[in-house]
Structure 1
Amino acid sequence: MLQLANILHTQGFKITIIHTQYNSPNYSNYPHFTFSSISDNGFSEIIKQLSVNSDASYYLTHLNNSCVDPFRNCLAELLATYSDEDPVACLITDAVFYFTQAVADALNIPRLVLRTSSLGCVLAYGFLPISFEKGYFNLPKEDYETRVSEFPLMKVKDLVKITINPQGMVDLVTNMLNQMKASSGLIWNTFKELEESTLETLCKDYQIPSFTLGPFHKYFPASNSSLIEQDRTILSWLDNQAPKSVIYVSFGSVASITESEFQEAAHGLANTGLPFLWVVRPGVVYGSEWLESLPENFLERVGDKGRIVKWSPQQEVLAHPATGCFWTHNGWNSTLESICEGVPMVCSPCFVDQPINARYVCDIWKIGVLLEDGFERVGIETTINRVMMDEEGEEIRKRICCLREKVNLSLEKGGSSHQSLKNLVDYILSL
């Protein structure tokens, strides 16, 4: 959302950002924006209860229920401060905050929706209710390899990964998709050439203007929108590594894994014998502060071949000539960043949209390899070697480099994303 705000600011719009108290942005990083904080009604305390059994739908539903009054009051006050000569053009909200549509309607302001996932994710989410009704979420493990008949790209094990609370997720997704259709337009952080057939399908269901102007992060030099402090010392370490030799590992800012999965990952990385840069976010292992769950003598075993940091300047790491592959959770930002730098992926999706993104990466675009058996050291070593050392990896690299070229063309004058941004600006001014 901050990246989109920056993009629209360059087009002449004044930006006011309404945000919850939890995970508040650093205002000093955005002196060109106005910020307004609203109460999240205790969400900061609720989020501390995150555990291995937590589910995204619970927290997102809580926010949709608890933020209605604070958001309405804040928006009404903001609207009252603007004159007829300098009116508010529109409201843009994340799609998952579906409650904002009713508020926008009540205050007579057009609402545009930013969906921060892939187009394919939204297509797949549309099939979640019927998958739930057909009992896919309750099938035994011996049926996990079964394809979902309504959406054959997905296996049952992918659906199970999306959520541990199927009813809650179905309710959340249903509300989100319905309010997307009720909005004045859709903004996507993707580019047309990557998901053209999916865009055509969605446009039949969502008969409102749609704008694919991504990847957002490519509009500016390396992004400053990270909410976590980056360790930049690893860039000099990368400078001393051979081209395309380093395994970069990061499971994003939200996903967490178990202690046994963490240890299997460590053994798998060490067994490759290849240099690696591993982002271990504090809390990425349930109940862990940071590195105490590493196997005994692990750091001594890998020596200078392995670097572990709390957070990294990911775009710069992926763009570095030494980076050879990206072991990722397949969050959409990470997936797009890997495509933009032409870096093949090893995929370990955790939840919500990540299993869907991973299937597109591996089975549709064929620019990565999925760790089908999860975190298991032999499988990790074998899969990484397939991507880094084998002919298969070279073919993957060629395909993702081709997509990288398409990204760059889409952002040039006359390209699909460049034109989509122009169309969005014209549309906002017409509302």
Structure 2
Amino acid sequence: MEKRNGLRVILFPLPLQGCINPMLQLANILHSRGFSITVIHTRFNAPRSSSHPLFTFLQIPDGLSETQINDDPTSNVMSLLAQINRNAESPFRDCLQNLLLQSQESERISCLIDDCGWLFTQSVAESLNLPRIVLCTFKATFLNAYPILPLLRTQGYLPDSDSKAGDSVLEFPPLQKRDLSRVFGENGEKLDPFVHAIVDTTMRSSGIIFMSCEELEKDSLALANEIFKVPIFAIGPFHSYFSASSSSLFTQDETCIPWLDKQEDKSVIYVSLGSVVNITESEFLEIACGLSNSKQPFLWVVRPGLVLGAQWIEPLSEGLVRSLEEKGKIVKWAPQQEVLAHRAIGGFLTHNGWNSTLESICEGVPMICLPGGWDQMLNSRFVSDVWRVGIHLEGRIERKEIEKAVRILMVESEGERIRERMKVLKEEVGRSVKHGGSSFRSIETLANHILSL
């Protein structure tokens, strides 16, 4: 452990699993470079401070009711985040102001680092003369499209016929027109003020940190610098330095590891749709039947609340549950990084959140892409069409399509070719975090930037 450098960094994660994990991994990276760490967080989805004894944690009220705190938040994430953005500004300002007043000459507060999804933090930081650095938890390619997203939605880019659905979106490659409706979801024009605010506050920041690397999107990182006109730091994949397991908001079922130990090498398909995606009961049944019919061993994460209108797996008949248990294992949550690194895992059926996509690449596990929406659509296109390390289901949640994709990936020659390409990509990304690699160098640049603020 390097000695302290006399500077403290304040971190403020967005209260979602996929945002908390990267922020705490970043905290570990900065702490290893000598910075002291304070994490401000909301009451909703509060991180487990006991897992990070070297950091200081401060909770602020978020204005949510007990019902909202305890209910499954995944049914309307955008509405929940909008409400927290409205409620948390004043408590956050008070907390940050007190920290600045209490800071000592021996340990100066250097900057604030928070998620780009916070809409008020730039103004608060400016009013307190504190530099703010933005953490972007998705691809630089996606953030670069924020200035044009409202245009894509309003200027007739959504396909008006199935024949045009596969057309490329020239302003937003490699997306296809069919992807745009899933990017915007049901929110439509409600997203426009949110997107505009993120562009504005990011342009006024002191820099952007991406959990990516030049090996994955060199051109996009250079373009981000041109668009936002602030320093860019691509220091990912974060989990290559520090695991996210200790920051999980869900209780992990560790029994899946001994179960994997009993399986043959690269024989198991791992299935997880992340911490936010929801599916219908009929889609759930199609996935179940597809996995059962594939005859391949599988480890399936069914998060409580994943299936709309159900608590857990009760939509499955007793007969189907017995059939599934013959070849696979169903758990409520899994230590994903440990699972993907296991010798028995041969494929990953994923929603293609950026965290999951990076973790799969770093372990050399090819993917079956079943994106839910937002940036997942872009990630899945890169996986299937650019890097060619996975199979895109194109939104077809049908048992025959699931079975076909699993068998192609796990037992057919095309799956082996995909696996070879993934091996090359894994090696390229792996070099970025080693001494002298692009991400390694960018961490040093970031540390020096914070020291200069």
TM-score by structure 2 length?
0.91
Q: CA, structure 1 residues 240+397, in 2 after alignment: closer, same or farther (shift >3 Å)? A: same
Structure 2 residue corresponding to 1:113, chosen from 124, 134, 156: 134
Structure 1 residue corresponding to 2:316, chosen from 294, 297, 312: 294
1:55 offset after TM fit, Å?
A: 4.5
Residues 268 and 381, structure 1, Cα contact 8 Å, conserved in 2: yes
1:155 offset after TM fit, Å?
A: 2.3
Structure 2 residue corresponding to 1:416, chosen from 438, 445, 452: 438
Q: CA, structure 1 residues 151+362, in 2 after alignment: closer, same or farther (shift >3 Å)? A: same
Asked if 1:74 corresponds to 2:98, the answer is no
SS at match of 2:372: coil
**1:214-229 equivalent positions in 2, closer than 5 A:** 214-220=236-242, 223-229=245-251
**More displaced, 119-128 or 320-329?**
119-128
1:142 offset after TM fit, Å?
A: 6.7
Asked if 1:13 corresponds to 2:24, the answer is no
Residues 20 and 37, structure 1, Cα contact 8 Å, conserved in 2: yes
1:44 offset after TM fit, Å?
A: 5.5
SS at match of 1:297: helix
Q: How many residues align?
A: 430
1:403 offset after TM fit, Å?
A: 1.6
Aligned match of 1:398 = 420
Structure 1 residue corresponding to 2:202, chosen from 180, 193, 205: 180
Aligned match of 1:338 = 360
Q: CA, structure 1 residues 152+332, in 2 after alignment: closer, same or farther (shift >3 Å)? A: closer
CA displacement 1:255-298 (0-9 Å, x = unmatched): 11000000000000011001000000100001211110124411
Structure 2 residue corresponding to 1:348, chosen from 370, 375, 379: 370
Structure 2 residue corresponding to 1:358, chosen from 370, 380, 388: 380
Q: Distance in 2 between matches of 1:189 and 1:152?
A: 20
Structure 2 residue corresponding to 1:124, chosen from 145, 152, 155: 145
Aligned match of 1:195 = 217
Residues 72 and 305, structure 2, Cα contact 8 Å, conserved in 1: no
Asked if 1:388 corresponds to 2:398, the answer is no
CA displacement 1:328-352 (0-9 Å, x = unmatched): 0001100000000000000000022
**1:24-423 equivalent positions in 2, closer than 5 A:** 24-42=46-64, 45-46=67-68, 54-137=75-158, 139=160, 144-162=165-183, 163-220=185-242, 223-423=245-445
Residues 269 and 380, structure 1, Cα contact 8 Å, conserved in 2: yes
Give 1:392's aligned amino acid.
Answer: E
**More displaced, 93-102 or 146-155?**
146-155
1:43 offset after TM fit, Å?
A: 5.9
Q: Distance in 2 between matches of 1:224 and 1:50?
A: 21
Q: Distance in 2 between matches of 1:170 and 1:239?
A: 48
SS at match of 2:114: strand
1:152 offset after TM fit, Å?
A: 4.2
Q: Distance in 1 between matches of 2:137 and 2:176?
A: 23
List gaps (5 residues or longer) in structure 2: 1-22
Residues 243 and 337, structure 2, Cα contact 8 Å, conserved in 1: no
Q: Distance in 1 between matches of 2:130 and 2:282?
A: 50
CA displacement 1:195-226 (0-9 Å, x = unmatched): 11111222211221111111111103563221
- Output the aligned Cα RMSD: 1.9
1:92 offset after TM fit, Å?
A: 0.3
Q: CA, structure 1 residues 159+254, in 2 after alignment: closer, same or farther (shift >3 Å)? A: same
Q: Distance in 2 between matches of 1:159 and 1:246?
A: 32
Residues 318 and 343, structure 1, Cα contact 8 Å, conserved in 2: yes
Q: Distance in 1 between matches of 2:243 and 2:311?
A: 32
**More displaced, 421-430 or 152-161?**
152-161
Q: CA, structure 1 residues 221+182, in 2 after alignment: closer, same or farther (shift >3 Å)? A: closer
Name the % identity: 47
Residues 58 and 168, structure 1, Cα contact 8 Å, conserved in 2: no
1:139 offset after TM fit, Å?
A: 4.3
Residues 266 and 295, structure 1, Cα contact 8 Å, conserved in 2: no
Give 1:394's aligned amino acid.
Answer: E
**More displaced, 28-37 or 295-304?**
295-304
Q: Distance in 2 between matches of 1:88 and 1:67?
A: 21
Q: Distance in 2 between matches of 1:322 and 1:187?
A: 34
Residues 231 and 311, structure 1, Cα contact 8 Å, conserved in 2: yes
1:228 offset after TM fit, Å?
A: 0.9
Residues 41 and 59, structure 2, Cα contact 8 Å, conserved in 1: yes
1:58 offset after TM fit, Å?
A: 2.5
Residues 325 and 345, structure 1, Cα contact 8 Å, conserved in 2: yes
Residues 114 and 187, structure 1, Cα contact 8 Å, conserved in 2: yes
